[in-house]
Amino acid sequence: MRRVFPIQQEAAYVAQNLAQVVQSQRTTRRAAYGATKRAAESLVALQTSEGYWCGELLADVSLEADYILLERWLQRRTRPAPLAEVRIRKACRRICSQMLPSGGWPIYPGGPADVNVSVKAYTALKLAGYTADNSILKRARDKIQALGGLQACNSYTRINLSLLGLFPKKFAPTIPPEIILLPGGNFYPGGVLYEMASWTRAIIIPLSIVQSVGGVRTIAKGPDVEELYAPGVKLSIPKRDHFLALFFHQLDKFFKVWERRGLREVRIAAVRQAERWMIERCRNSDGLAAIYPSIMYTVMALDALDYPLDHPFAVEARHQFDKLLTEKEDELYFQPCFSPIWDTAYSSFVLGESGLGNEQTMRKAGDWLLSKEVRHRGDWVTKRPHLPPSGWSFEFLNDHYPDIDDTAMVLLGLMHARGSDPEKQARVEGRAVTWLRGMQSRDGGYAAFDADNDWNLLNSVPFSDHNAMLDPTCADITGRVLECLVRRGGSLHDPSIWRGVRWLLRNQREDGSWYGRWGVAYIYGTFLALRGLQFARCDERRVFEKAAQFLISTQNRDGGWGESCASYAEDQFVRCESTPSQTAWALLGLSAAEQTSTPAFQSGIRYLIETQREDGTWLEPLATGTGFPNVFYLRYTMYAHYFPLWMLSVHARK
């Protein structure tokens, strides 16, 4: 009888187990390939005849609430139109349908009630004719008071209510139009205005006109919201910083006195300059900055300046605002903006990476993207006056504000989406790479719209509490730009790439993650930082290992990953139910860290395969995009299309 030694038994067991693992991985890859094909077919079917993709971009009910406020504010010059009243009723149905069972409204799906959006929604319903004894308003009122009442609202909620006489103007921060006249000196070229983020500039300039010349428009026999004050709590201007609060409070008092007693000539000059600034940036753009709040305040500013309703500027502003509206039989909702360039760049890139984008699909996408290159010198030129213009914006038309993130993503997409004119494409890509390199900030990282937009003093002004006063460098954009530049021929020997790598290494958190500014949150930042470092051939393995440990430690039991928007409030990872996009991000991060053989990676792949629907798509009801941290979040409805497809195609190819 043959004798079997323990070491032989162990070797046989290892061999058998290894064979089972290999067979399981092969089976998973075959399933991943099938899932990839279905997802690619679904994505191709969503391409428009013009060649672009554009999914809906969804947010909270503050957009519908602000719409009702806008209509009531405009009633000074126009009687309520029948169409407007029908739309207001539909907006109310939308608001009511999104209310939490416990009362109040959240700023992201699955989140708790937020005082600002709840106050806006409550006020809108009252402006639409709901009475205080309505059951919905009763529950909302109790929740708002429990959250601190009107006293707890931020600056923009206070300002909006004060425009209709529903909140004391003296406790709403003043945004003076004279801000456009303030110089910046040699260190701050262009003036103080250009030290603010691009979206903040586009909001406060028309809003300063509304505040200074629009007046308070109380509605005759209209409602009030006195019942929303929390008893026993004093009203005061919002405080941002204990050390600078006194200075900025005194400055706000000065502005309020200046409104009444300041030099009229200076005020007129400031308003006219603000008007010119606003109108100039409405040209070559789908509305000011092509985003909801800026366009809404533009409509109000033109009305405050007594532009006739049929004036081309007023007509165009209202047209651009109404384009953001989606109206159905029984409700309506607004999108904060449109995302065609972002969605088209990603769809082109992912289809190209998967090898499943047919020639016609990719050529149409390439031609469309090439036609959208920005050739206008926008606000960014203040910090980069000698840089030739190029790049891409986020929306259909927004030439004043091309952004770095979209430009990098388009350049990645154009690696696969070859247009019908190769020579034109080469010229466009060359200009865009030059522009992208030139927008690197002095610290080595990349921001969204501007370079060196980091004057932290501005975070202390009272109206900065939308948490987006500045546009600082961030890990997600820096990582994407590094991947783009390396895949476009750069290397770690390139000084700009080396500086970007050093920025990422300096900004890795203790737990191994990176903060994600434009996606929720640490999973997003970590996946993009890892890809940037991977393509730059960074050899600091400990950095990758720490990041992989973070991703593995945050995996859910079902094999997927999910991160709550609450991560921003907690300043650390907060788990939530798994989502397809965040699962794909985590897996892409693990792939960049060379952790594809781990059980965590394999179970993540199985999660994506098992949760795919028959039509090749995935369901994602949660918000995984970030507008303003802790204030405004986004549901990119196409994220659940292209991110899982990207990850599964990477796995299926191996």
- C-alpha 282/C-alpha 298 separation (Å) is 9
Taking only the tens place, the pLDDT of each residue in 517-531 is 999 999 999 999 999
Burial class (CB in 10 A: 0-12, 13-18, 19+), 200: buried
Reference 441, options 411, 469, 404; nearest CA is: 404
Cα–chain center distance at 69: 24
Residue matched to tokens 């952004």:
403
Could you read off the pLDDT of 597-653 as tens digits, one per residue? 999 999 999 999 999 999 999 999 999 999 999 999 999 999 999 999 999 998 887
- 133 DSSP assignment: T
The letter for the amino acid at 73 is W
C-alpha 198/C-alpha 190 separation (Å) is 13
H/E stretch holding 579: strand 575-579
CA 335 – CA 595 distance, rounded (Å): 38
Torsion of CA 124, 130, 133, 137, to 10 degrees: -30
To 10 degrees, the CA torsion angle through 389, 390, 394, 400? Answer: 20
- Residue 271 has a pLDDT of 95
Task: Please report the pLDDT score of residue 38 as a whole number.
Answer: 96
Candidate from 4-8, 247-251, 320-324, 381-385 with smallest mean pLDDT = 4-8
Residues 6+ apart with CB under 8 A from 143: 100, 102, 103, 104, 113, 118
Tokens 């899932």: give the residue.
35
DSSP 275-340: HHHHHHHHTTBTSGGGSHHHHHHHHHHHHHTT--TTSHHHHHHHHHHHHTEEE-SS-EEE-SS--H
Distance of CA 307 to the CA centre of its chain: 32
Rounded (10°) angle between helices 580-592 and 639-653: 40
Q: Which of 252, 405, 450, 476 is catalytic?
A: 405
Q: Does domain 62-334 have CATH number 3.40.50.2020?
A: no
CA 377/CA 462 separation, integer angstroms: 31
- CA 33 centroid distance within chain: 32
List the one residue out of 178, 237, 236 whose CA is nearest residue 212: 178
CA count, 13 A, side-chain hemisphere, 332? 22
The pLDDT value given to residue 466: 74
The answer to whether 624 and 520 are in contact (CB under 8 A) is yes
CA dist 36 and 185 (Å) reads: 55
pLDDT tens digits, one per residue of 360-413: 999 999 999 999 999 999 999 999 999 999 999 999 999 999 999 999 999 999
Distance of alpha carbon 29 from alpha carbon 654, whole angstroms: 8
Residues in the chain: 654
Question: Of the given ranges (232-236, 576-580, 631-635), which has the lowest mean pLDDT?
Answer: 232-236
Number of Cβ atoms within 10 Å of the Cβ of 25: 17
User: What is the pLDDT at residue 5?
Assistant: 45
Banded model confidence at residue 29, pLDDT cuts 50, 70, 90: confident
Comparing 579 with 456, the larger pLDDT belongs to 579
* CA quadruple 284, 290, 296, 301: dihedral sign: negative
Q: Are residues 340 and 409 in contact, defined by beta-carbon separation less than 8 angstroms? A: no
Least confident span in 212-216, 394-398, 461-465, 595-599:
461-465
Look up residue 258 and give its amino acid: W
Of 26-40, 176-190, 352-366, 605-619, where does mean pLDDT reach its minimum? 176-190
Q: Rounded to an integer, what is the distance from CA 537 to the centroid of its chain?
A: 29
- Has 367 been annotated as catalytic? no
Q: How far apart are CA 484 and CA 481, in angstroms?
A: 5
pLDDT at residue 339 is higher than 70 = yes
pLDDT band, residue 21 (cuts 50/70/90) = very low
Determine contact, residues 518/477, Cβ cutoff 8 Å.
yes
Q: What is the pLDDT of residue 546?
A: 98
CA–CA separation, 287 vs 302, rounded Å? 13
Q: d(Cα 288, Cα 375) in Å, to the nearest integer?
A: 18
State the chain's mean pLDDT as an integer.
91
pLDDT at 253: 67
Domain boundaries, the chain: 62-334, 528-654
Burial label, 126 (beta-carbon count in 10 A; 0-12, 13-18, 19+): buried
Residue 145: DSSP 8-state = H
Strands 325-327 and 57-58, how do they pair?
Answer: unpaired
| Helix, strand counts (H, E) of the chain | 23, 7
SS3 60: coil
Give me the residues paired with residue 327 across strands: 332
Mean pLDDT of 47-57: 98
What is the 8-class DSSP label of residue 262?
S
Q: What is the dihedral of CA 415, 420, 421, 425, to 10 degrees?
A: -20
Q: Which residue has the tokens 């030099």?
A: 263
Instruction: Return the bridge partners of 633, or none.
Output: 626
In the chain, % of residues over pLDDT 90: 79
**Helix, strand, or coil here: 398?**
strand
CA 364 – CA 50 distance, rounded (Å): 7
